[in-house]
């Protein structure tokens, strides 16, 4: 299959899936917004900056799982025992429900359903030339690394420096899996 047709089919799949997901999950989204607002003061959504395709930055949509201004209180990596996580946030993270609003990013064309997870700018700045190839594709809601490290918070739990632990124990394999996706995408 040629790349142009493959890209068209992937984008069509993304649009149909994200739109359907938003419609079907609408009632759940509504209730989660209420629970987040009742649990802690602040907005229901988190809109952090991430690096997407071709190095362009965008605001990722997620349900807020941490206290307001959590980024100012700690690093970019979050262990499951991080005190910044709210009560409802623990539940949302456990079941990956905090990721549901990213369907909006998919609909807007900033993300895809499947693709390497988008990183914060400070992490992208550490990419090797080889790892920069990851920026050739739209980042995704899920990928092999998301499945492999579905328990990332637990891996970081108890670490005196969760971000350093992320860089040592998780990031190398995430990069390897992302590059594998780049090399093998479009193969059926």
**32 contact partners, CB below 8 Å, separation of at least 6:** 44, 63, 88, 92, 97, 100
Per-residue pLDDT of 95-143, as tens digits, reads 999 999 999 999 999 999 999 999 999 999 999 999 999 999 999 999 9
Per-residue pLDDT of 23-79, as tens digits, reads 999 999 999 999 999 999 999 999 999 999 999 999 999 999 999 999 889 888 999
Task: Kindly state the tokens that stand for 60.
Answer: 């990722």
Structural domain of 84 = 3-184
- Looking at the structure of the chain, the number of domains it has is 1
Position 182 pLDDT exceeds 90: yes
Helices and strands of the chain, counted as H and E runs: 10, 4
């Amino acid at each position: 299959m040629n790349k142009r047709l493959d890209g068209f089919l992937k984008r069509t799949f993304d649009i149909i899936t994200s739109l359907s997901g938003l419609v079907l999950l609408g009632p759940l989204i509504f209730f989660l917004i209420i629970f987040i607002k009742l649990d802690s003061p602040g907005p229901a959504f988190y809109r952090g900056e991430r690096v997407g395709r071709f190095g362009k930055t965008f605001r990722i949509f997620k349900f807020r799982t941490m206290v307001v201004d959590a980024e100012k209180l700690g690093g970019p990596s979050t262990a499951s025992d991080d005190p910044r996580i709210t009560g409802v946030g623990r539940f949302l993270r456990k079941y990956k429900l905090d990721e549901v609003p990213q369907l909006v990013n998919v609909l807007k064309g900033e993300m895809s359903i499947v693709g390497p997870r988008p990183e914060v700018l400070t992490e992208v700045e550490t990419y090797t030339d080889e790892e920069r190839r990851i920026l050739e594709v739209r980042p995704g809601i899920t990928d092999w690394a998301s499945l492999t490290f579905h328990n990332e918070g637990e891996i970081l739990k108890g670490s005196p420096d969760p971000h350093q632990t992320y860089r040592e124990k998780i990031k190398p394999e995430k990069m390897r899996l992302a590059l594998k996706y780049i090399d093998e995408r479009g193969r059926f």
